Amino acid sequence: LLTNYDEVKFLVDNEYLIQVMNWETGYESMPPGNNQLPQCERDMIQAWIDDGAPDN
């Protein structure tokens, strides 16, 4: 469970967030126990990351 921006940013900087969000082989799937996030939501998160993952 991520509880603050610094935790999320750490996972973004290490590309872990993208790996789990896209259900890459060898990584946990996010969200656990549920269906994969819809592509439109993953695209929005990717755009946020591409923009530098600002703390807003």
* Cα angle 24-29-35, degrees, rounded to a multiple of 5: 115
Q: What per-residue confidence (pLDDT) applies to 24? A: 93
SS3 47: helix
- Distances, alpha carbon 41 to alpha carbons 22, 26, in Å: 11, 22
- Residue 11 dihedral angles phi and psi, to the nearest 5°: -70, -35
Q: What per-residue confidence (pLDDT) applies to 12? A: 96
Neighbours of 21 (CB within 10 A): 20
pLDDT in tens, the chain (56 residues): 789 999 999 999 999 999 999 999 999 888 888 899 999 999 999 999 999 999 98
- Distance between CA atoms of residues 5 and 34, nearest Å: 23
Q: What per-residue confidence (pLDDT) applies to 30? A: 86
